Structure formats: C-alpha cells, structure tokens
Chain A
Amino acid sequence: MSSKANQEPLLHITKRRAMPWQAAWAVRIGSIVFALIICAIITMAATGLDPMSVYGTMLDGAFGSERKIWILGKETAVLLIIALAMAPAFRMKFWNLGGEGQVLIGALVTAAMMIYLGERLPNPILILLMFVAAVAAGALWAGIPAFFKAKWNTNETLFTLMMNYVAIQLVAYYIIIWESPKGSGKVGVINQATEAGWLPRIGDFQYLLNIIIVALVTIGIYIYLKYSKHGYEISVVGESQQTARYVGIKVDRVIIRTLLLSGAICGLCGFLMVSGTDHTITTTLAGGRGFIGVLVAWLAQFNPGAMVFASLLLTVLTRGASEISTIYGLNQSFGDILTGIILFCIIGSEFFINYRVHFRKGVGRRVDGGSKPAAVAETAGDDPAEKETGKEGADV
C-alpha cells in the first residue's frame, strides 16, 4: 500500500523493518543514562542533596563491602531466577503475573517439609524431597491457569494474578499454625538447632550455593530456549499459532508444558529462599519480585544474558536505595520511584527502536536511528513522570 495518508500529517510514523542490535542497545543504554539524569534532578529536588554523592552512596550501598556484595549477589540471584522462570512463558506471549504466588507455594511446601519431616529423615533425603515437592508445587500453581488458558482461553493475566493472593493467604494460614513463639505472628527460624533441611553452605559463603544454582538455571534456560526443540516450539507458538498448527505443533500442549516449567522454576526459587538463605517463611517472601521479574524478562527481550544485567541493575538500585535511606534518612521506597522512572524510560525508548518518525514539514526531514532519537524518546515518554515527581518533590 502506498503511504497515502489521508491528510498529510506533520508527523508520520512507520514501522521499522529492523534496527541493528548495536543501535538498539545504544538507544536502550542512552535511555538508562537519561533516566539516571532525571532521577538525579528529582533526588536533588526532593532532598536538596548533591545527586553525585547520592549516587556514590548508592553504589557504596550495593558494592561497599564484601558482605554487601554477597547480599547483592543473593538478591540479584532471586530476581534473576524469577525472571528466568517468566521468560519461556512470555516468549509464548503468555502473561504469567503469578510468579509471586508460585514462589510462595514452593516456599510453603519447603517450609512444611522442614517442619514436619525435619527430624525424621536424613538430611540429604529430606533436601531432595523438599526440592522435588517445591518444584512440583510451583509447577502445579502455574499449571492450573495454563490448563484453563489452553482449554477455554481463560484470561491468564488475571488468573495468575489472583493465584498470588490465594497463595499469600495459604501462607498466612500456615504461618499462624506454625507460629513460634506463639502470638508473634512469625514462624521464626525453622530447625535452628538441628539445621535439618538447610541447604549446605560452601565453605564460609552462605549465599554461594544459591548463586551457583541460579547461574546453572540461567545457562539451562538459555540452552533450553535457544537450542532445544521445546524452546523452538515455544517461539513458533508465540509468534504465530496458525503457523504452529500448520506444522503440526499441538498448541495447547505446548502452553501447559511451558507453564509447568515456568512454575517449577519459581517453585525452585521458593525452595532456595527458604532452605538456602532465609530458613523461615513470610507472606512477603517474594516481595513484589514476581512483578519486577516480569519486567526484567521483558526488558531483556527474553535473552538470559541480558536478564543478568537487568536484574543486577534493578537490584543495585534497590540495595542502593536502602543504603541512602539509612544514611540520608530517605525512605526505602525511593528505590521504587527510581526503578519506575528507569523502566518508563526504557519502555518508551522501545518505540524508537520499532518505529521510525518522519517529519512531513518542508522537504521531509527524517529522524533516523542511533542515539539521537533516544533523547526524543525520553522527553516525550517521561514528561509526565518528570513533572509529577518533580512537582511533588518540591512540595515536600
């Protein structure tokens, strides 16, 4: 079709065929830099502090000591494994917003086995059982919505979302049953004396085993999505269900199978958190990371390598924000605001990767690829955010 727009508009937008990946990443990185500048301005407005020293403190909070680096690694690993769990489902265009619940169910089953079987089984067998049960529970939790999606095309976004709250209430129920000490509303450290069901630690490094396992999962998912037949089927189903049927792929079976995997990895995450690091369970165990994991997977465009960086970036922000909250007395939630602004910028910049903007004025100047449109992206995309936070910041 010729581009006969009805009224020759000033701006004409067309789809790009493709942008070279270098340019695309330049746009994304440009947008992050831009976001950091906005964040700096907001920080200054809200606190009157020198943004450079705030960023310095944030980096210090994330990387400042050996212990902080370990915590950073542990937290990144949690976010990363959730994002990895989401990746196959999203590849298939299935919106699994139930990561939170799938992690919690895995954690709940793990905790239950630690409590009830703690002293009855030898530790290796117990841990193995816990692992299997947690993975199965997570898979089941994701498999239920997947089944209904495959059979009756039930809206998966809200189904998975609601499953989160069912899981949260289940955990809340058991927390009261397992309360220790009674009336505290907490479970406390499980099997503190015997350490039954605790994952062994490697040398002196408490978090190392978790990080290694997540690293292995990262490689596994990378291989699964890129090289396995299943991964290939997932891509075909995600791109075009019609093509999938044309070559004889059973679409409903692929949906259920993929979600079982997605849930299983979340279950594994719950297992690692309870058995490996926390040794207790709370309703806020996942702490919103089920959602952030979705964003990480999406930002990384399903590339596990890029997911490592995206989850590291977001975790550094959160850790840094908790540091400034103690040093400058800022609120911990400041991190969420910064995260939000960075996300908005990156999301907005995708437009300039996928579309080309033509100006119809005069001879027809054309905005082309590269880093320049990134600047356009952010001014256009984040104006409201900027105005808003800026305004409210000034109010305080």
Chain B
Amino acid sequence: MRGITKIFDGKVTANNNVDLDIYKGEILSLLGENGSGKTTLMNMLSGIYFPDRGQIYINGEPVTINSPREAYDHGIGMIHQHFKLVDVFTAAENIVLGLEEEGKLDLARVAEKIQKICDTYGFEVDPKKKIYDMSVSQKQTVEIVKVLYRGADILILDEPTAVLTPQETEKLFTVLRNMRSAGKAIVIITHKLHEVEAISDRVAVLRKGEYIGEMKTSETNAQEMTNMMVGREVALNIDRPAPVDPRPKIRVEDLTVRSSDGVLKLDDVSFTANSGEILGIAGISGCGQKELLEAIAGLQNVEKGSITYIHDDGSEESLLGKDPLQIASMGVSLSFVPEDRLGMGLVASMDLTDNMMLRSFRKGKSVFTDRKTPKKLAEKVVDELDVNTPGVSTPVRRLSGGNVQKVLVGREIASAPTVLLSAYIVRGLDINSSYTIYELLNLQKKNGVAVIYVGEDLDVLLELCDRILVLCSGRVSGIVDGVKADKNQVGLMMTRLGGGDTDEQ
C-alpha cells in the first residue's frame, strides 16, 4: 500500500511524544479513556491547535498546518463532536461556507455536487433543508459532506457515534466503509470497543497523553484493548469506611429524560441511593450523568418515571416536578456540586462571601441579607479546606480551578445535607486537593448522608464507592459492589450493556 504517512511528535500536556501513522484506504480507531489526549492529537492534525514540538508529514513531505483552512488544503477534514454549523442556514449553504470559489454563488450547482458525493458514498442530504430542522445524525452527515466537498482525503471523526442510535450508527459505518473503498483515510476517535471491532482495520491506543501501541483489529480482542486503554491497576489508598446504617434515601424508578432537542438522555433508569453510603456512577462522559443529577436536583424536565425521597421517619415524598426551592421547603436538604462550577454552581464575578450566600440568603425574615454568617462560613471553608485566596472578598473568578471547587464543595457541605450529588468533583484538581475532597465525602458518608458520586476515573470509583451504578448510553448497564468489582468488568459495562462478552447492541 503506497501513500499517506504521517508522523506526529507532539508535546502539549495532553500529548507526549506521540507517533502515529495513518494509511490510505484504511479505517483507524483511536482508542483511549476520557482525557487521554485523543481529541487534542487530532485537533493538531486539523489545524485547531499547533503542536509545540514534532512534525507532521503528508505523503512523506513535512507540512505545517496553521488553521482549519490549511488543513483542508492538505486534504484533512475533521468532524467535531460539537458540530460547527449555522443553524438557520440550509445544508448547502453550510457546506459552501467559507469557500472562495470562482464565480457567483450557484446553490443549484452546489446541490448537484452534493448529490454526486452522496451517490458515491451512499448517504442522503437534502441540500435545501435547514440545519435546525435536522436530526443529530443528519447534521453529522452534513458535516461529513462538508469535509468531502472540500476534497478531503483524510477524515477524522471525533466520537461520531456518541449521539447516534444503533441504526444510525450502522448507516454511518456503511458510509465509512464505502469511503474506505474509495481510498480515503479515516480516523475514528472512540472508546466503544464493539465499534472498534465492527469498523476499524487498525486500532491505536492512547493513555494519559502517551502513545501505548497499535495493532490490527483482527488480531486483538476486547480484553486486550481494555487492558491497554485502562493500564495497570494503580494503588490509590483511598479510605473506604463501612457504610453507616444504610437505609434507602432516594428511589429512582423508570426515569426517562429527553434533551430539549429530543435526544433520549436517560432511558428507564432505576436505582436506590442509601444514606451513609457512597453510590458511584460510572460511564463514558455524556451518557446521561448530568441529566440524572439535574433531574434529582429539580433542574430537568422528566418525561416519565419517579424520584422519591424517603424521610428519616420512613415517610415518602416525590421530588418530581419540584424546583430547587420547593425541594428545600419540603425539608429535604439536598446539595449539588454540578459539573459546570462557574456557570452553574457559583457566580464567577462575586466574592467568596457572596457565593456562600447563594444557598442561604433567603434565611430570616429581614429584607436585608446577612453577610456576617456567610463571611464566617467563607472564612471557615478557606481555613478548613486550605483554599488559596487573597481573602474572602476576592471574586471566585480569580481563584484557580482547585480552589474554586473547594469553595463550592465547602458551601454545599455546610448546609448539612442529607443527600449530596456531585459531578466530576475532582476534575482539574491536583492530587492533594483530590484527597481532601475524598476525605470530605467520606466524612459526609459517616454522617449518614446519601452521597452520589459521578466520576470518570475508574480507579477512584472502585476505591471510594460502596456501590457503582454503570451507565451506558443513558441506560443502566448494571450496579456492582464497589469492593468486589473488577475494573475490567466495569470498563466493559461502560461500553456494552451488562458488560457481557457478546455484543448486545
């Protein structure tokens, strides 16, 4: 096979000395956990980032790629996870956007050319349809056609199946196979093992920014790939005290949630969270974790199902259809550390004291806010959690990520919750801060709080949580015992329902 060779040698924090070859007429899977640097690597190829070190070669020639446009000139096109489309434009308009072709804009001719591309590879695009009228998979098709229209020979797809139904995925794979036969080079970024098996010729694995190795898909199996992706087991030594008098606190039954654009985010999810216990939620990012927590916190519209809170005296009350204020007025002390700390949990431009008030400012009959108590609380949080800040009157925007998180967690814990929801609570934190947070969670557990911990690091989930609920594409793949569970088993469950050896999807 003669043709395209590319050698990477990047060293951003995300990628360290990565070498990668992409061949013409072949589908390569780029496999790795979240944050392993897959997307960053490909962004350098498509001109979004510029590598700090290293050299890219196309057909053996060294090239520099400064912008997406230059990437197109080299025949490289990337389909991002977040589509770059103008909603009120038609498919054809989006496809020609930014192109400086000769002559006047002739959308009829553009449509013809689009049709030709569609016929070649076997997909359907209505050039006159507006993007906002399209389903996610149609939008994705437009993105692919846009790249092909520019004459790309190398296509990079960033987790293309994350948003598709199984049927749509199959359709996409057919198209990709057609493109392979036409001699295009295709890279799929993914962490779904069965897809790697189904579509790719070769698989390359990244872990923590490092290139681990590659092999022919036909010569490997799920177990080997998981091992390469996840790596050796690392001893973390996080305390895991025995659950304290676990009693059901929150019962979720048949919960189904759809996003505003109609995508099914949670599908018939049922589980029970106990007091005095940490329930871990594992899953590939975007599998419904966010929606699940927001539904419990009263911030999501629920299509069907129930969420029940069980009071200490055993009486039950539904949380469904209640906003955060109504939940609080029921006497349910529910704390929530959301994923988007500065966009949702805190107000970036306000200082520590004012942010402490967010939860408590309504207290008391006075029309004026009481700043003394929050100030004391802020000082206490700064002191106890060792927050690095010039003072309690510093806007949180000016704190570093770890310190921002400490402020948020400190506030949420301060209200003596009975339920604590947390999403990616240690993301972006250094080791020491992370351990501080783990200790805090354990302390809550000892106090009889029902803790729900959405995490991305399997090692931590396995060491910290009493039980782990594994989500896969919005469905419950299984609930395992945190003490007995095996990492590979959980990893498989994340990518396939039930984690069985046979592919059920």
Contacts of B367 in A (CB 8 A): 228-230
Given contacts A17-B397, A17-B398, A242-B344, contact A228 B12 (CB under 8 A): no
- The answer, yes or no, to whether A4 is at the interface (CB within 8 Å) is yes
- The answer, yes or no, to whether A7 is at the interface (CB within 8 Å) is yes
B369 touches A243 (CB 8 A): no
B19 to chain A, nearest CB (A): 20
Contacts of B345 in A (CB 8 A): 243, 246
A230-250 vs B, Cβ < 8 Å mask (1 yes, 0 no): 111101100110110111111
- The answer, yes or no, to whether A18 is at the interface (CB within 8 Å) is yes
B397 touches A18 (CB 8 A): yes
A248 touches B12 (CB 8 A): no
A232 CA / B350 CA spacing, docked (Å) = 10
Per a CB cutoff under 8 Å, which of A4, A228, A229, A248 touches B49?
A: A4
Given contacts A228-B368, A235-B350, A246-B324, contact A240 B50 (CB under 8 A): no
- The answer, yes or no, to whether B503 is at the interface (CB within 8 Å) is no
B369 touches A229 (CB 8 A): yes
- Chain A interface size, as a band, is 20 to 34
A236 touches B398 (CB 8 A): no
- The answer, yes or no, to whether B347 is at the interface (CB within 8 Å) is yes
Given contacts A17-B397, A229-B368, A248-B325, contact A242 B347 (CB under 8 A): no
A223 CA / B366 CA spacing, docked (Å) = 13
CB-contacts of B282-332 with A (<8 A): 297-299, 323-328
CB-contacts of B352-395 with A (<8 A): 354, 357-359, 361-362, 367-369, 371, 395
- Chain B interface size, as a band, is 35 or more
A4 touches B50 (CB 8 A): yes
- The answer, yes or no, to whether B66 is at the interface (CB within 8 Å) is yes
B344 touches A243 (CB 8 A): yes
- The answer, yes or no, to whether B8 is at the interface (CB within 8 Å) is no
B64 to chain A, nearest CB (A): 10
A236 touches B347 (CB 8 A): yes
- The answer, yes or no, to whether A116 is at the interface (CB within 8 Å) is no
A377 CA / B328 CA spacing, docked (Å) = 49
Q: By CB atoms of chain A within 10 A, which of B50, B343, B347 has the most?
A: B347
A239 CA / B362 CA spacing, docked (Å) = 18
Given contacts A6-B50, A18-B398, A247-B324, contact A227 B67 (CB under 8 A): no
A232 touches B324 (CB 8 A): no
Contacts of A233 in B (CB 8 A): 361
- The answer, yes or no, to whether B127 is at the interface (CB within 8 Å) is no
Given contacts A2-B12, A239-B349, contact A232 B354 (CB under 8 A): yes
- The answer, yes or no, to whether B23 is at the interface (CB within 8 Å) is no
A56 to chain B, nearest CB (A): 42
A243 touches B358 (CB 8 A): yes
Which residue of chain A has the shortest Cβ distance to B340 in the bound complex? A242
Contacts of A250 in B (CB 8 A): 325
Contacts of A240 in B (CB 8 A): 343-344, 347-348
A5 CA / B47 CA spacing, docked (Å) = 10
- The answer, yes or no, to whether B32 is at the interface (CB within 8 Å) is no
A3 to chain B, nearest CB (A): 10
Contacts of B358 in A (CB 8 A): 236, 243, 247
A233 CA / B50 CA spacing, docked (Å) = 43
Given contacts A6-B50, A229-B369, contact A248 B324 (CB under 8 A): yes
Given contacts A7-B66, A17-B398, contact A246 B299 (CB under 8 A): yes
B336 touches A248 (CB 8 A): no
B359 touches A247 (CB 8 A): yes
B11 to chain A, nearest CB (A): 11
Contacts of B298 in A (CB 8 A): 248
A232 touches B344 (CB 8 A): no
Per a CB cutoff under 8 Å, which of A6, A229, A236, A246 touches B47?
A: A6
Which residue of chain B has the shortest Cβ distance to A239 in the bound complex? B347
Given contacts A229-B367, A232-B369, A240-B347, contact A6 B67 (CB under 8 A): yes
- The answer, yes or no, to whether B338 is at the interface (CB within 8 Å) is yes
A209-236 vs B, Cβ < 8 Å mask (1 yes, 0 no): 0000000000000010001111111011
CB-contacts of A249-299 with B (<8 A): 249-250
- The answer, yes or no, to whether B346 is at the interface (CB within 8 Å) is yes
A6 CA / B65 CA spacing, docked (Å) = 9
Contacts of A236 in B (CB 8 A): 347, 350, 358
A233 CA / B368 CA spacing, docked (Å) = 12
A239 touches B328 (CB 8 A): no
B497 to chain A, nearest CB (A): 32
Given contacts A229-B362, A247-B359, A248-B325, contact A18 B395 (CB under 8 A): yes
A159 CA / B277 CA spacing, docked (Å) = 54
B51 to chain A, nearest CB (A): 8
Contacts of A223 in B (CB 8 A): 368
Which residue of chain A has the shortest Cβ distance to B13 in the bound complex? A2
Given contacts A4-B49, A6-B67, A7-B66, contact A243 B347 (CB under 8 A): yes
B88 to chain A, nearest CB (A): 17
B397 touches A242 (CB 8 A): no
Contacts of A248 in B (CB 8 A): 298, 323-328
Contacts of B50 in A (CB 8 A): 4-6
Contacts of A7 in B (CB 8 A): 66-67
A246 touches B349 (CB 8 A): no
A6 CA / B346 CA spacing, docked (Å) = 33
Which residue of chain A has the shortest Cβ distance to B14 in the bound complex? A2
CB-contacts of A1-57 with B (<8 A): 2, 4-7, 17-18
8 CB-based A-B contacts, threshold 8 Å: A2-B13, A7-B67, A227-B371, A228-B368, A232-B361, A239-B348, A243-B347, A248-B327
List the 4 closest A-B pairs by CB distance, nearest first.
A248-B325, A248-B324, A239-B347, A4-B50
Q: A17-B397, A235-B347, A250-B325 given; name 15 further pairs at CB < 8 Å.
A: A2-B52, A6-B47, A7-B66, A17-B398, A228-B367, A230-B367, A232-B369, A239-B349, A240-B348, A246-B299, A246-B344, A246-B345, A247-B324, A247-B359, A248-B324
Residues of B with Cβ closer than 8 Å to A?
12-13, 47, 49-50, 52, 66-67, 297-299, 323-328, 336, 338, 340, 343-350, 354, 357-359, 361-362, 367-369, 371, 395, 397-398
